[in-house]
Amino acid sequence: MHFIDRYPIIVTPKLHECGRFWERHLGFTAVFSSSWFVLLYGEGETASLAFMSPDHPSAPPGPEVFSRKGMCLELQVEDAKAAHEEALARGLPVTYPLTDEAFGQRRFGFHDPSGLWVDVVEQIEPAAGYWERYMVA
């Protein structure tokens, strides 16, 4: 298979609110927007994300309205502190503050209007010995 793009589609009645949120707070650009579907690209087309109305007949079989459970979107950055400062300056509703985690990430997080958890992370050195207990012998 040769893919042109790969992206999740979040089924939500708040698709336009989500599109505006991702544009305003995270620098995405809507490349297609209609009454039933919004497709966004991240800066430099480094990521794609879509939101779809739950009642459109073109919906693929299977997806239910997103329920805020079982999924998060990871946004990896080079400098989580700078990203956190920028997010706060843009008015992003951060609910998990900038934290250095023992397992080797500096991160913060928030929910978008659909309820999708977004985790912004920078890889850092884990605490000494942290991962040994998880390694299979």
Please write the tens of the pLDDT for every residue from 88-133.
Answer: 999 999 999 999 999 999 999 999 999 999 999 999 999 998 988 8
Are 20 and 44 within one domain? yes
User: How do residues 30-76 score in pLDDT, each as one tens digit?
Assistant: 999 999 999 999 988 889 999 999 888 777 777 688 888 888 999 99
Which of 15, 32, 54 represents a domain boundary (last residue)?
Answer: 54
pTM of the predicted protein model: 0.85
Residue 121 DSSP code: E
Q: Domain span at residue 42?
A: 1-54
Are 41 and 73 within one domain? no
- Closest CA relative to residue 25, chosen from 71, 75, 99, 67: 75
Helices (H), the chain: 15-26, 80-89
State how many domains the chain has. Answer: 2
Are 50 and 72 within one domain? no
Residue 134 maps to a domain: no
Are 49 and 76 within one domain? no
Are 117 and 87 within one domain? yes
CATH number of the domain that residue 20 is part of: 3.30.720.120
Residue 123 maps to a domain: yes
Residue type, 56: H
Q: How far apart are CA 118 and CA 137, in angstroms?
A: 33
Contact criterion met (CB below 8 Å) for 65 and 54: yes
Are 46 and 74 within one domain? no
Residue 2 maps to a domain: yes
Are 77 and 114 within one domain? yes
